[in-house]
Structure formats: structure tokens, C-alpha cells
Amino acid sequence: MLKINPVILCGGSGTRLWPLSRAGFPKQFLALAGQDSLFQQAVSRINELAGGQIEVGQTLVVTNEEHRFLTLDQLRELKLPDARLLLEPAGRNTAPALSLAALAALQDGSDPVLVVSPADQTITDPAAFRKALQTAVAAAADGAIAILGITPDRPETGYGYIRRHSAANQAGWSEVAGFVEKPDLATARAYLQDGNYLWNSGMFVLRASSWQKAMAAFRPDIAAATELAWQSRKHDDQFIRPDRQAFLAVPSESIDYAVMEKCPGSPFALRMVALDAGWSDLGAWDAVWQTGERDGSGNVLHGDVIQADCENTLVFSSSRLVSAVGVTDLVIVETPDAVLVTDRQHSQQVKKIVASLQQSGREEHVLHRKVHRPWGWYDSTDESARFKVKRIQVKPGASLSLQKHHHRAEHWIVVQGTAEVVCGDKTMLLTENQSTYIPLGEVHRLSNPGVIPLEIIEVQSGSYLGEDDIVRFQDSYGRDNNA
């Protein structure tokens, strides 16, 4: 029986999929293709390898502090209670991330095969994916490093390429001859015609010890610095935190640059398995259109959309009716607080809008109007200079922090469920249609003692209504005043 560990690299902000993808809720957590999020699909695809001679061990997710509860919630929906989250104090690219996963996988004395996948890809042919992955696992079990190369179906200039020596052998893999950067269009067309150039998927299969040996050979500085941070790690239930100061000293580098591109011609065997399974990394809105289910005119429509005489257009509605008439090759994306309109050919340039939002200090690149928190969510439905209205939902058994505000008072009205309210030295239970008032400066807490979600309407009033006007005294989720 061969043991594998799924390793999901769950970083990145997906700026080219703004306004749906934001820094606080990036694209890997969105359901852009199917019912599950891209992250959930990545986890499920690898866990489905279980059976026969393959035992699937603990799922290891490398993510950051900001997204830890969002990641955990989506894992719980998949019923993976034993998954472990390795929390990076700061982004250091994929090579240190995989090093953390390898160190975690080696802790029990075994040397499992790591099946490494980004969290933001789609596959439309699961059977073909499983077959290719089984071939890669067999290659990695013998000590080789396996990489999945995507069989190209067009001259793509947005991906890096892997060059193989020849077509696959009887075992199903090819020796890797080298890597090439993103080509121009003429070169990409030549690659497509040649047949020995495949897109680099960013998916790797290798034993944990093989990665450690390769890092020690090619990037000993990253290996040593990551291990130093790992040695002083802290455990908090399913969260594992490497030492912050030590991890900040880890050099930033990708898996490709640190190891893969150095393997050809070295003692480390690098083998490629071709994957033709409807793969996409959904890097921009044009890719979402390409992978979507199109109508007879080539349109991809999501949500409450009405179109007339449109062609090859993507319309994505998340909160209201969106109508389009007589347009061609457009992307139209609606969210409660932002709307994007772009030509499909220019959808890669959406990142310029995000950069402009960042430079002007606007929050629309960070958070949606509806903000997810470990205890539930809130939706800011209306606001003006001295008031803000929020719809708040609290999960069963969850509670907000014990806190106070210096600049605002709050009115709470229960519309569903039961609320336990601490206000100063008083504790009260409120049910539907009951309300209470939290004076400015009063220490308070909202909890849900029930078994159904609690929903309230909160009306804030005061001279300053920013989210940073919170002084926390107790918090169940280890957050400071700015989280």
C-alpha cells in the first residue's frame, strides 16, 4: 500500500478576477465552475485517488493567517476533519510552502508521496486526471520527481512550457529536457506544431524526502531557513504556525526556479506525465468564459441575466438582474459594490484596475460588501456620514469577541434565531423581533446559543464607523483589534 498526502498550495489573490475575487476572499474560494469552490475541487480531486494500492493520508493545506478560518470552513464542508493548515506568516512563494508541507509529512517517520496542486485550477475530465495522477504517483514512488504537463490545444502565450525529449514511454511518462518561459505568439505556434512542448500546470508529485534532498542540493539557504522556522512552530488545534521571525527571513522563490528547472542534467530524475483533462488555471475572465457552458451564440451566463443578440460574451451576476443587448466579446461582472465591463481580449489587464484601487486607498480590492468572519458574516447594506446598517449572521454556537467601541453606538434587532447579549454587567436573551441598544463605550458581546443561524440587523450611529474602531478584550479566534 502506497501512502500519499494531498498538498494544496492555497495562496494568491487572483487580482485578474476582480471584482469577484478580492484579497480577503480570493478566487480559490469561489465557485466559478460547479457547486464547490476551486479550492474544494482541488482537495477532492486528490482525495478521490484513494483505493486499490493507494492510501490517501492527511491533507496538508499551506495558506495564510488571513484565510485560515475560510479555509477551515470549506474543508469542514468536505468532511475532512483531520486536515492540517500550515499558516505562513508572510508569502514566500511556493518553494518554502512545499518545504513546510514536506516537513509536516515527515513528522510521523514515514516518507509519503506528496501530490502537490495549486488551489485555483479546474479539471473537466476527472477520469483522465486520475489516470495521469496514478502514473505520476507510480513514477514518484521510485524516487523520481513527476510533473504534470498540459497537452496544449492552442498557441498560448500566458503559460510557461515544459520541453520533453520524446513522447511517453510504456510507463506513461517522458524525460524532461528543459523549461522555457512564456513565449511570443510565433514561438507558441511553433511549440504547438512541434508536439513536445506542454504547458506547465504547477502540479507536482514526489516523495517528501525527494523534495528535501533537491532543496538541500539546489537551494540550501531556503531549506535551512524554512527548517529553522519549522523547528519553533506552534500548534493550535488544526493550525500549525512556523516561527514568524524565522520565516520572514526565508528567501522567496518558486518551485520551478528553486528546483524543477535545475533538475534536467542533474542526478535528480524529472519525469513528465502528459495531462489532457480539460485543465484551466482560470487566470482571467477570458479563461472563465472558455471553460464555461456556452449557449448557441457562445455566451456564458451566470446568475440573474437576460441577454438579447449577444455573442461570445460572459455575464456574471451575483446580486441583481443584469441585462445585455447586442454586445460581442465582452465580460460583464456584477457584485453588490462594483461592476466590471471589459473586452474579453483585455481581461488580463483587470489587474490595472486593482492597482488603481490600491493606490487610491479604496477598499473594494480587499473586501466584498459581504465580509466573512470565523463566527459568520456581515453585509453592510447602507451607510452615510453618521450611520451604517449591517445584516449580521452568527453560526450556531459561535460568538463575536467581547469588545467596545470609542466612536459608535449600536442598535440590534433580532430577525431570526436567539441572541445572547452581554452589555456591561447584564446578560440577556433576545428572540425574533426583540431589540437592544449598546451605548458608546460599553463592553459587549453577541453570541448564538441556539442550533440555527442567528440573524440580526445592526444600526450603527456615531462620528466614526470604521471597522478598526474595535477594542477586543476576549476573542475565541485569536484575533487582534484589526482582524
Burial of 37 (0-12, 13-18, 19+ CB in 10 A): buried
The pLDDT tens digits for 90-129 are: 999 999 999 999 999 999 889 999 999 999 999 999 999 9
Give the Cβ contact number of residue 408 at 10 Å.
19
Please provide residue 388's backbone torsions phi and psi, each rounded to the nearest 5 degrees: -145, 140
Please indicate, yes or no, if residue 285 is contained in any of the structural domains: no
250 and 312 within one domain: no
pLDDT for 481: 60
DSSP 243: -
The answer to whether residues 319 and 456 belong to one domain is no
**pLDDT value at residue 52:** 80
Residues 386 and 314 in one domain: no
With the CA atoms of 227, 228, 230 and 231 taken in that order, what torsion angle do they form, in degrees rounded to the nearest 10? 110
Spatial CA neighbour of 162 closest among 175, 178, 174, 145? 178
Q: What is the pLDDT of residues 381-426, one digit of tens each?
A: 999 999 999 999 999 999 999 999 999 999 999 999 999 999 999 9
441 within 8 A of 403, measured Cβ to Cβ:
no
Please tell me the predicted confidence (pLDDT) of residue 170: 86
* CA distances (Å), origin 372, targets 36, 201, 392, 395, 453: 17, 30, 10, 11, 14
Which of residues 313, 331, 357 is at a domain's end? 357
Same domain, 351 and 397: no
Which of 250, 280, 310 represents a domain boundary (last residue)? 280
Tens of pLDDT along 414-464? Answer: 999 999 999 999 999 999 999 999 999 999 999 999 999 999 999 999 999
The residue ranges of the chain whose pLDDT is under 70 are 481-483
234 within some domain:
yes
What's the confidence (pLDDT) of residue 163? 95
When the pLDDT of each residue in the chain is averaged and rounded to a whole number, the result is 94
pLDDT number for residue 483: 53
pLDDT at residue number 407: 96
User: What's CA 406's distance to the chain center, in Å?
Assistant: 35
Please state the domain count of the chain: 3
Q: Which domain holds residue 336?
A: 293-357
Whole-angstrom distance, CA of residue 98 vs CA of residue 369? 34
CB 250, CB 92: distance < 8 Å: yes
382 and 239 inside one domain: no
